[in-house]
Structure 1
Amino acid sequence: MDTDLLRTFLEVNKTRHFGRAATNLYLTQSAVSFRIRQLEIKLGTPVFTRKRGDLRLTAAGERFVPYAESILQTWGRARQDVALTDSYQQQLTVGATSLIWEIDNSSEWLEQVEAIQPEWALRTESLSRQQISNALLEKQVDVVLTSEPPKLADLQQVRLTDFSLVLVSSEPEQTMETIGALPLVYLDWGTRFSVEHSRIPSLQRTPVLHSHGCQPATKFLLNRGGVGYLPSTIAQPWIDAGKLHLVEDSPAMENELFMVWLSGNEKHEDINSLVDAFTEQAVHDFG
């Protein structure tokens, strides 16, 4: 299938507008419409319902979205793999949620991999937590960095480092007793964090912002005010600048960062060698 058709389909789905999709793809609107028609002919079913001012996916279109995304990811990996120059012997594709990519530990890990295996090319992918297991099982990524490893039989894991989440406020001199009146910003770190968060009585209210990204959560706290948990490495510069403040007597939440991979991955031996190199150099203590 022509990958241009898939890119056009996903862009139309994202914008829900043929004209805006055409602008983003540097195409004419008629070219976008033609590509969608071609895709529907190939699939044998409509992927969008077209009503005046209302463009929506059909049920078939909804089901096709993850396949289109997976095909494009696989095609991108394949192009890079076959185009490796003599300088690079291997490509390692690393997946993680946007939250994990935003903390320093992940970028430090990538730098460590490059130092240990300079002949490897690295490719990163952003995944939702729901996509992690399938991305590994379908070999869309070689390894995943995560704080909550999936519990599947064919997956292996190694702990890389620890990182902390700290409770910060836009207002100084706040305690666990006084933060109840402040807007709550909830940075979604997953099930374990949710359980621990639910045990703090002064934080049990509807968040004014529920975020899956550190940047929007931090900006909201700085610009609009409130209270919420942030990674310590992200919060500390703002604490030093006097823009954010640690809540007195607040519990820090300790997390672990793991590398997870599929035993049946064709790069399994290379990944094991990487793990051995990390162990030898004790780089799992870099955090």
Structure 2
Amino acid sequence: MDTDLLRTFLEVNKTRHFGKAATNLYLTQSAVSFRIRQLEIKLGTPVFTRKRGDLRLTAAGERFVPYAESILQTWGRARQDVALTDSYQQQLTVGATSLIWEMDSCSDWLEQVEANQPDWALRTESLSRQQISNALLEKQVDVVLTSEPPKLADLQQQRITAFELLLVCSEPDQDLESVSELPMVYLDWGTRFGLEHGRIASLQRTPVLHSHACQPALKFLLNRGGVGFLPSTVAQPWIEAGALHVVKDSPAMANELYLVWLSTSDKHEDIEALVSNLENDA
């Protein structure tokens, strides 16, 4: 499968416009149309329905999207793996959600890995929580950093650090009862967080913003006002500046960050050695 066809397919799907896709890919519109036709010939089925002003995926196109994304991701990783120079003997691909990547502890861990294994090249991937299990099983990533390890056979995990989520709001002197009148921002930290959040009666309403990243939630609270849980490391500078305030008598939700990998991974021994070395250095 020609990877250029896959990139063109995904760009057309993203823009839903042949002309815009052509601009983004630095191609002519006719070249984009030709590539999509070639892809459809190879697949033996149309991937888009073409109606004037209305470009949509067919059912087959919808099913093909995750495969195209997976193939390109695997191809990119393979190119880096085989192109390692004499200076780099191994590549470690690390996956995490956007929320996790925004935490300082992730950057700190990557720096520790680089210091411990200077002959390793590091590659990071952003995943949704739903993609984590498949990414491990399909070897799209070697390890993941997560607060909710997936329930898989042959799973290995190592605790990296602990962190807290604080309920903060834009208004001072608020308690769990009074924040029921404020717009709510919901950061999606997963199932366990959702259950604990569901026990707080004053937060049981439709969020004005449901986000999978800290920065949009933080900016919304600062600029528009409201209430929501943020990691303490993200919220603390703004609390000290007086721009955000901890809700009185609110629970601080304790979480832990884990490194997760499969014992069936072909890099299992290297990962275990890395984990052991980092523990000894701590």
Q: Which residue of 1 aligns with 2:194?
A: 194
* Cα distance in 2 for residues equivalent to 1:25 and 1:154: 41
Alignment of 1:210-249 (within 5 A): 210-249=210-249
Alignment of 1:1-287 (within 5 A): 1-282=1-282
* Cα distance in 1 for residues equivalent to 2:19 and 2:163: 44
* Cα distance in 1 for residues equivalent to 2:187 and 2:108: 22
Q: Choose 152-161 or 221-230, whichever is displaced more.
A: 152-161
* Cα distance in 1 for residues equivalent to 2:217 and 2:30: 40
Q: Which amino acid aligns with 2:265?
A: N
TM-score between the two structures when normalised by the length of structure 1: 0.97
**How much does 1:249 deviate?**
1.6
Q: Which amino acid aligns with 2:203?
A: L
**Is the partner of 2:176 in helix, strand or coil?**
coil
Q: Which amino acid aligns with 2:233?
A: T
**Is the partner of 1:86 in helix, strand or coil?**
coil
Q: Which amino acid aligns with 1:186?
A: Y
Q: How many residue pairs align between the two structures?
A: 282
Q: Deviations over 1:98-137 (max 9, x none)?
A: 1100111111111111111111000000001111001000
* Cα distance in 1 for residues equivalent to 2:154 and 2:16: 39
Q: Choose 136-145 or 246-255, whichever is displaced more.
A: 246-255
**How much does 1:25 deviate?**
0.9
Structure 2 residue ranges without an equivalent (≥5): none
* Cα distance in 2 for residues equivalent to 1:219 and 1:21: 30
TM-score between the two structures when normalised by the length of structure 2: 0.98
* Cα distance in 2 for residues equivalent to 1:261 and 1:162: 19
Q: Deviations over 1:72-123 (max 9, x none)?
A: 0111011111111111110000000111001111111111111111110000
* Cα distance in 2 for residues equivalent to 1:239 and 1:18: 47
* Cα distance in 2 for residues equivalent to 1:12 and 1:238: 41
* Cα distance in 1 for residues equivalent to 2:53 and 2:173: 51
Q: Which residue of 2 aligns with 1:285?
A: none
Structure 1 residue ranges without an equivalent (≥5): 283-287
* Cα distance in 2 for residues equivalent to 1:25 and 1:241: 44
**Is the partner of 1:207 in helix, strand or coil?**
coil
* Cα distance in 2 for residues equivalent to 1:216 and 1:245: 18
**Is the partner of 1:243 in helix, strand or coil?**
coil
Q: Choose 243-252 or 1-10, whichever is displaced more.
A: 243-252
* Cα distance in 2 for residues equivalent to 1:42 and 1:48: 14
* Cα distance in 1 for residues equivalent to 2:276 and 2:212: 33
* Cα distance in 2 for residues equivalent to 1:107 and 1:43: 41
**Is the partner of 2:150 in helix, strand or coil?**
coil
**How much does 1:12 deviate?**
0.7
